[in-house]
Each structure stands twice: as structure tokens, then as C-alpha cells.
Chains A and B, each alone.
Chain A
């Protein structure tokens, strides 16, 4: 009996079948169901937002890839006074085309067909399509031919069903003649004042060059920093400080990097404004901490036994790093790099700071040429008053998203490739 006196009082036997217990079980089930429903709701909500965004973007944006066209009959033999096709072949083609005066020929033809005010129906730069057509197929200058030229922006918007009342009226008059064609210009042109003439190529090329510069600066520096900090650097207060600083750097708002780029690259080094080089360098500053952090984590995740194995048969520290640690860490490093690059690709604010908001009508031909990039182009177009730019903005967003998807797909491909090699 003495041993049982240690318990203050006897416990009542637990009633597992009792009402109180059953109630508790029901409450537990209800809580589980509630949690599941909440989670599902959250997923549905976010999927809904995403679907809404995509549908609106794609719905608007796809129209940006098309243009409304009007037929123009051009009687080349009569207009040119008998130019021959051979003039527009070979080296002198461009010069001869200039003396030909395509613009006047087109305008005259339009006035004959659509009356005095006919030219107002057409996009101001539409005649350039005729020049391109002649260079493409010189034979047409010897014939009477009908070409489809882009209509004026308001008509274009109205024909696509989103225009002003006056434009709608004109569309109703021309209904029989209007048609829709794929806007090839959008893929090959750069910024313009006329929404019918704008294109994404300049911004896309600018983005490509900028990203390339960002990658070649940020990737090696980031990876080498990560490797050094993990594999070589002594662990002391100084390296702790560096680690904290890098983590903080990754959280610095991007516009501050823009100011830094402005102060350092433009003012100190005197690099040209609005250049892809400066944009790339600025974005590299921003991307580097991300690569360092993900790189360090990837390097840290390489099992120490691999390092020991290599050291144990007499590999030098560098051989351990480059033969074993880096290949094993590479998939992780690449993932981090792509995340950083994707962020840099969508970045607008720092690039505005270094002057990349200028109107650039020609694609950049080098790293120090004035350039613009996709997100800045989207920002600029979204500011335009002309309604024609709305769909162009959406179309540019589609191009940007496709660019991002391509980058991510590449990252996944690279990661899988390196992983299966082992």
C-alpha cells in the first residue's frame, strides 16, 4: 500500500466512448475540414487571379499582334513612268527606291481610290510597307498591283471593337474593305509615335543585351564569392559581417540600386546614359546577392563526405571545389541564378534612374548604344494617351512573359541535365 500513496488520488478510468469524448472527436474533424476548405479556397482564389490576369492580357494582347488593313491599288507603270524591276535589285536598290518617291506614289494612289481625305484613313508610316514589298519583290513595279496597307490607329481600334463614336462611323462606311492581317511590324519594329508602327524588337533586343551583361557579370562574381565564402574563408566576425551584408543587399529596394548605378556608372565612370551596358551592370549589382545566397546554400548542401573523400586521396582544395563541390552544387546555383535573372528581367525602377526611359526608335546595335528594355517599354506605352497603345502594351507584356517562361524552361532543362549526369 505504501507505494500507491505516492499518487494523491486515484484517476478515474478514461471513458473513450463517452459523449464528451465523441464531441471532442467531432470538433477535431470539423477543424480539419475547415482547414482543408480554407486551403482549397486560397488555391482557387490565387488560381482565379492568375487566370483573370492571363485572360485579360492574352485577350488584349493578341489583338496587338494584328492590324487592320485597307487595300490600295497602285498602278506602278503609270506612276513611276516605267521603272524596271532590275533597278531595285543589287547594290543601288535603296538609292533608287529613294529617288522613286514611294511615299508620293502611295499617297496619290490612296487619294485616287479614297478621295481627297483618303490619306487620313491610313497609318502615316504605312508607305514603308510598300518600299519593303518592292525590295522583296521588284517585279511588282512593272505591274498594276493591289497592296494591303495598315489603317490609321483609330480605325484599327474601332474595327477591333473598342473605338470612339466617330471612328466607328468611318469603320461602318469602310466595312467591306477592311480586313485583319498579322502585324509583322510589331515583331521587327521599335518604338514609334504611331501605335500602328510600334514594335517590340528594339526593347526585346535591349533586354537580351542587358540580361547578357547582367549574367556575365553577376554569375561568375556571385559563384566565386559563394565558393570562396563557403570553402576558403575563415569563419570569424569579419566573414559574419560580410554574410549579413550580402543578405541585407538582397533585400535592398531596386530603385536604390538604380541610384547607385547612376552615381557610380554614369557620374563616376562617365558611361553613356540609357545604354544596355549600364543597365546590365546595375541589374548585376542587384542580382549578385541573390546568386551568392543561393550559391552558398547549394554549396553548403554538398555532403561533407564528398569533400573528405577527395581530400583523402590527395586532391587540393581547388580540385575539391572544382571537381566535386561545384558540379554537385551547380543545379542549385543555376536555379538561384535564374530566379535572380528573372527578377532583373522584370525590373523597371533602377533602369529609369539610369536614363532608360528615353524614346528609342532604333534597336540598339551595341552595348553602349541607347537602348530600352521590355518592362520599361511596357511602362512607357502604358503612359500613352493614344488608345492604340493599350493593346500594344498587353502584347508587350505577352512577349515579356514568354521571355520569362523561356528562361525558366531553360533553367529547368539545365538543372535536369546536370542532375542526371551524376
Chain B
């Protein structure tokens, strides 16, 4: 596989050169985000070594790997959440629609609106359900009046599959919902600011199997509307929800490709060992 095999649909970043390490391309679909030779350091310690991955619009990309392999760290580079950690240092090129997101002129606030994030533990604001969803549109000025805002809240909740459950109690506190509902509320909150990419950092690890199934179903429905990147511990989940899978080990990207290939016919020995349960 060569880099950018689908370059017809991709926008090449000027900072990106053909001579960089072979990008493991994801194949089809318009390119949304590209990463080239990304290294992440926490102080002296290198957490990510030379990772290059493309994220496409039409595919759900899953990051799998044992604990501490750096998959969450890498995910948090994609919307610069690592900026909040003073000792973290990111090098390499990461682009969104061809724009270098670590460039000085990139507005990190806008970037995080365009690249939304859902966290491991559901973290709704201790406000009403309505205010949870409306917060993002309000601070970004996405609605000019109350009706528009109401409309955004309704469609976001509908997309997150939560509207039917909460439409009669929008003024109740978001923290009063069940764990699974809270996580869907967080997804709705991310959707409300109309992002291009949604990053999910182990979104189901705090949920029971039924709530997990609902989230997975939701990911299926959101696919295509948003580029979705999901970090998961659960290999079955990666197999179920994703079309592209990246396997991380000790900070390096071991293998990246079509999910079914990774799970049935991995090229790397390490990937095979992990998938068959030898370690991790």
C-alpha cells in the first residue's frame, strides 16, 4: 500500500512530503485527517514513536492495543487535548482538511469544536440536559435565536438516539441520567457544535453491555456523517464498529489496515499474538 492511494479525494498538506515515512493509508473515502511521523514526549519519556495514520470520512477508525500503548495519547493529539498537559510535546505533522493543526495560526478552540471528543467516563455538565447540549452552540454562536437553538438541541439528541428518552425532561439535570444515557448525552453534546471529526476515548468502558450495544449502534448510524476515531480495549468492539483498525504497541504503530484483514489475517506477528489473546 502506498501513501495516499486515494489522493483524488485528499487535500495534500504543503508540509507533507512524499519522502516521509510510508503512511499506512486507509484506502477509500475522502481523507479527513492525516498524521505523519508523530512523536509525543512526556518530559523525557517518549510515549508515541513515529506514527503516521490517515483518518477518512467514510470509515470508523479504531485504535486498539494493550494498556499504556499510547493509543489514547495519540487520540488526544488529534484535537490538541495534550496541550493541557504542560510537559507533553508533540512533533510531526497532523492535518485536518490539509491544515496543520499545530501551526501557530491554528485556533485551538475552533479546532476542538471541529474535532469533537467523547471521553472514557461520561462527563455531562452538572446542568440541565438542554443546557448540556446548548452550551457548545452558545459559546460558538451557532444559533441566532431560541428557536434555532431548540432545533439544534433536538436534532443533536435525535442523532444521539436520546431524544425519545429525554424529550419530556429537558430541564432535568444531565447527571441524573443513567451511565449509558449520559454517554449518549456527551455524544449529542459533541454533535451539537457540528464537528467534522468525533474522537471517542474508550466510550463504553464504563458502561454495561446493553448501553454499550446502544453506543455501538449509534456509531454505525453516525458513520459517514462524521469521521469517527474510537479507542477501545475491547477487540470485539473494534471488530464490530470499525472499518479500519490501528494496532498500537509500546508507543509504535504496529499495523494499520482494513479491520477484517487485521482480525483475520494480520501481517505482523505482534498483532496476531494480541488478537489471539497471548498478551494485553
Binding site for B on A (CB under 8 A): 234-235, 303, 305-316, 319, 323-324, 328, 422
Contacts and interface: CB of A to CB of B under 8 A. Distances in A.
Nearest to A305: B123
Contacts of B136: 313-315
B104 interface: no
Contact of B123 (A306, A316, A323, A328): A306
Determine which residue in B86, B123, B140, B189 has the highest number of CB atoms from chain A within 10 A of its CB, and name it.
B123
B139 A314 contact: yes
Interface string B155-181: 000000000000000000100000000
**Closest 10 CB pairs between A and B?**
A314-B113, A305-B123, A312-B117, A422-B126, A314-B112, A313-B136, A309-B123, A316-B109, A314-B109, A313-B193
A303 B125 CA distance: 11
Nearest to A234: B86
B119 A422 contact: no
Given A306-B125, A308-B119, A313-B190, A319 B139 contact: yes
Interface string B63-91: 00000000000000001010010100000
B215 interface: no
Contact of B125 (A309, A314, A319): A309
A313 B113 CA distance: 5
A305 B116 contact: no
Nearest to B132: A309
A312 B139 contact: no
Interface of B: 79, 81, 84, 86, 109-114, 116-119, 121, 123-127, 135-136, 139-140, 173, 186, 189-190, 192-193
A311 B124 contact: no
Contacts of A312: 79, 81, 112, 116-119, 190
A18 B277 CA distance: 53
A311 B81 contact: yes
A319 to B, nearest CB: 6
Contacts of B193: 313-314
Contacts of B139: 314-316, 319, 323
B127 A315 contact: no
B179 to A, nearest CB: 13
Contacts of B81: 308, 311-312
25 contacts: A305-B119, A305-B123, A306-B123, A306-B125, A308-B81, A308-B119, A308-B123, A311-B84, A311-B112, A312-B112, A312-B116, A312-B117, A312-B118, A313-B116, A313-B189, A313-B190, A313-B192, A314-B109, A314-B111, A314-B140, A315-B109, A315-B135, A315-B139, A319-B139, A328-B126
Contacts of B140: 314
A420 to B, nearest CB: 11
B126 A323 contact: no
Given A312-B117, A313-B189, 16 more contacts: A234-B86, A235-B86, A310-B125, A312-B112, A313-B112, A313-B113, A313-B136, A313-B192, A314-B109, A314-B111, A314-B113, A315-B109, A315-B135, A316-B109, A422-B127, A422-B173
Contact of A309 (B111, B113, B124, B192): B124
A309 B86 contact: no
